[in-house]
Amino acid sequence: MPILRRALVTGLAAASATLRPAAAQMAFGAAAVPPTPITKPRWQRNAVAAPQFDGRPAITLVIDDMGVVHPGTNRVMALPAPLTLAWFPFAHGLPQQVAEAAARGHEAILHMPMQANGRSTAWTGPDPLRIDVPLDENLRRLQAALDAVPATVGLNNHMGSVATLDGPLMAMVAAEAKRREMLVLDSLTIPHSMVYREAVVAGVPAASRDVFIDPVANAAVIRQQLAQIEAIATRHGHVIAIGHPWPLTIEALEAWVPGLQDRGFVLWPLSATVAWKNDIRLTA
């Protein structure tokens, strides 16, 4: 019996050591295994913090064509943050420009040139995505453009009245955005654009533009569009508007943006609005 008793005690002790919880092991000096960290996707890592949702209608302002016309670029960067700035991939000095904008509280996306009707290259800039170019070459162009603009949360299309109607081409864009953990904004430069649809199919966080601030370079029209932005935000709780670093647009924004808070609105970066639209909870 003593031999059996010793064997039983030894077996129970071994089992107890095996099953002892981590807290008890730490009490006896054993190192605890740290939990595996949860890595946020790229678009959340590069996102600008948005004000907490407090019931105020949210306005997201995206300014396209950034980085080339420097007087306009500099004036846009001086506007109250957070704006979302869409940078041309062929602009010079992008790391410095994007870093300066980030220091002022603005978010960055790639403004990807895409084939349009008419004189495409003259309008879009070099290396646009085109329906008459092999898919692997379009992928190379997209990847080079994505690599050119640092610290982006996603991309939107520059022009694209031809390219954005091509399903396989936009599916390629969505797949690359998915691979890089980025979001997508459909600029909706033409009805029936497939940018948003293909992004959703690929499981990419996405949204579409609601209002163009400056469909024409006319001060009265721009003021009307700003009023429409406020009306849509009030009605739906959010709105995404796209403008450009043009003198009349900037003058209007310089007068309009500083008073948004007093009029009961809040500025949100694109990442926050896309998260809201896609029911994604942003973690700190």
As a whole number, mean pLDDT of residues 136-153 equals 98
Distances from the Cα of 179 to the Cα of 33, 106, 204, 211, 215, angstroms:
30, 24, 9, 29, 33
From 3.30.460.80, 3.20.20.370, 3.40.50.1820, 1.20.140.160, which CATH number describes the 54-277 domain? Answer: 3.20.20.370
pLDDT tens-digit map of 199-239: 999 999 999 999 999 999 999 999 999 999 999 999 999 99
Write phi, then psi, for 159 (nearest 5 degrees). Answer: 60, -135
Is the confidence at residue 252, as pLDDT, over 80?
A: yes
Of 8-22, 62-76, 182-196, the least confident: 8-22
Q: Which candidate, 171, 189, 208, 71, places its Cα nearest to that of 120?
A: 189
Higher-pLDDT residue of 142 and 26 is 142
- Asked whether the predicted pLDDT for residue 21 surpasses 50, the reply is no
Contact criterion met (CB below 8 Å) for 273 and 185: no
**Closest by Cα among 158, 107, 169, 100 to 132:** 169
Residues 6 or more apart whose CB falls under 8 angstroms from that of 6 comprise none
Can you give the pLDDT at residue 15? Answer: 37
- The ranges assigned to domains in the chain are 1-37, 54-277
Q: What is the pLDDT of residue 30?
A: 42
Q: What is the pLDDT of residues 31-71, one digit of tens each?
A: 455 555 568 999 999 999 999 889 999 999 999 999 999 99
Q: Which of 30 and 201 is assigned the larger pLDDT?
A: 201
pLDDT at 16: 37
Among candidate residues 196, 223, 199, the one with its CA nearest the CA of residue 211: 223
Q: Which residue do the tokens 């603009």 mark?
A: 149
- Report whether pLDDT(17) > 70: no
Question: How many other C-beta atoms can be found within 10 angstroms of the C-beta atom of residue 33?
Answer: 8
Q: What are 85-127's pLDDT values in tens digits?
A: 999 999 999 999 999 999 999 999 999 999 999 777 888 999 9
Lowest mean pLDDT among 74-83, 105-114, 118-127, 136-145: 118-127
At 257, the pLDDT band (50, 70, 90 cuts) reads very high
Asked whether residue 183 carries a pLDDT value surpassing 60, the answer given is yes
Look up tokens 């690929």; give the residue: 202
The values of phi and psi at residue 246, to 5°, are -95, 150
Higher per-residue confidence, 10 vs 191: 191
Work out the percent of the chain whose per-residue pLDDT is above 70.
86
